[in-house]
Amino acid sequence: MATVKLRDVKKSYGSVEVIKGVDIDINDGEFVVFVGPSGCGKSTLLRMIAGLEDITSGTLEIDGQVVNDLEPKNRGIAMVFQTYAIFPHMTVRENVAFGLTINKASNEEKEKKVAEAARVLQMEHLLDRRPSELSGGQRQRVAIGRAIVRDPKVFLFDEPLSNLDAALRMDMRMEIGKLHNSLAASMIYVTHDQVEAMTLADKIVVLKDGRVMQIGSPMELYHEPANLFVAGFLGAPSMNFIPVTVEAVEGENIAISSPSLDRISVPGKGRSFTVGQTATLGVRPQYIRPASGDSGMLHGKVALTERLGSETVVDVTLASGGTLIVALPEDKVLAEGTETSFDFDPAQAHLFPETP
């Protein structure tokens, strides 16, 4: 088990910089998820940690040792790929034991370690099958087994569930969570799926365009997003952004308004605003409630109601133009076209100086 430390890590392909100076600390036994939209550099960053891509500048430490120039096999890592990367001509047993075969381990050692990995992953009955006889989930299990057998300091997962269907993805997600609990190893997990990030991570690293947008625990990122990007990226349905004008700065509270929003005060959370500037108000759909009568702060017209059973998602066209998504915890029908007002707790709102 080990710590991983990235200091001002950069990666360029020719003149194109894809990782633009990343600092991340990963503690012993931590489950860290790199999340971001496609092309944000999360996979590249993981492959740099694995040693499959060179690090252009900066340092990468695993367990206190700078490993920039070490071969992948000497870094104490194991990696699980999106496409499984299991060898089609070998049985599951041979696949899991591959690293041991390469390093000329004894048959007893192989037998023991494979059995142990198979037990952890509950795939003893699959050991003599070939990959072509396995389902996607089982193949990914084999790939994870091959990683376990290496007994690595750090596990690396590169979108391991992306090729699985939705139901299986949920099962495997839980399996990986349990695996982390039982192995207590440091794990780095790349995904573009925020649900995986929220459920699995001890710590989430949100990346965009090769830069770290925010690092923190899932709840920290959810409740206290540092910027508009993180606010919009995490949470489903995603956060509503309403363009507003700053009316007054009253100490910690900022008074704002917009054509579809009555003047309210929201906490500034340490960000500085000047009177008259445009800003963006962020409110999660779950915190918005229909107001009784016309007393609410937000005004609009219901455009569409989606009933999911457990919740109702209402699409509202605001008086000023934009749309507002409201997620109601109960099954409720709002007739299309009705003028409605909505309320929310200003303490649950976020005000960002930037505009989307």
Partner 1 sequence: MASKLTRSNRAGWIMAFPGIALMTLFIIVPFFLAFAFSLTNQRLASPNAVEYVGFENYSDLLGLAVFTLEPERDESGAVVRDEDGEIEYPRLRNFTRNNPDYPNLAGKREWFSWASGENRTVVLSSDVVFMKALVNTFTFVIFVAPIQAGLALCLALLINQKLRGINVFRTVYFMPVVVSIVVVSILWRFIYSPGDGLLNNALGWLTFGAFTPQDWLGNTSTALPAIMAMSIWQGVGFHMVIWLAGLQNISPTLYEAGNIEGANKWQTFRYITWPGLRNTAVLILIVITMQAFALFAQIDVMTSGGPLDSTQVLVFQAVERGYGKQDISGGSTISVILFVIVLTISLIQRYLTRER
Residues that bind partner 1 (CB under 8 A): 50-52, 71-74, 77-79, 81, 83, 85-90, 98-99, 101-103, 146, 150
Beta-bridged to residue 202, according to DSSP, are none
Nearer to partner 1, 86 or 239 (CB): 86
CB 274, min distance to partner 1, A: 51
CB 265, min distance to partner 1, A: 54
CB 125, min distance to partner 1, A: 22
Ranges of H-type helices in 279-348: none
- Write phi, then psi, for 309 (nearest 5 degrees): 90, -65
Nearer to partner 1, 12 or 257 (CB): 12
Beta-bridged to residue 352, according to DSSP, are 280
Q: How far apart are CA 207 and CA 147, in angstroms?
A: 26
CB 225, min distance to partner 1, A: 34
Residue 104: which residues within 8 A CB-CB, separation 6 or more?
none
Residue 116: which residues within 8 A CB-CB, separation 6 or more?
148
The secondary structure of 22-91, three-state, reads: EEEEECCCCEEEEECCCCCCHHHHHHHHHCCCCCCEEEEEECCEECCCCCHHHCCEEEECCCCCCCCCCC
Cα–Cα distances (Å) from 244 to 205, 228, 277, 348, in that order, read 29, 14, 9, 16
CB 82, min distance to partner 1, A: 8
Q: How far apart are CA 42 and CA 19, in angstroms?
A: 9
DSSP per position, 239-253:
PEEEEEEEEEEETTE
Nearer to partner 1, 101 or 135 (CB): 101
Nearer to partner 1, 155 or 342 (CB): 155
Beta-bridged to residue 57, according to DSSP, are 10
Cα within 13 Å of Cα(45), Cβ side: 38
CB 124, min distance to partner 1, A: 22
CB 91, min distance to partner 1, A: 12
Nearer to partner 1, 51 or 285 (CB): 51
CB 166, min distance to partner 1, A: 23
Nearer to partner 1, 70 or 168 (CB): 70
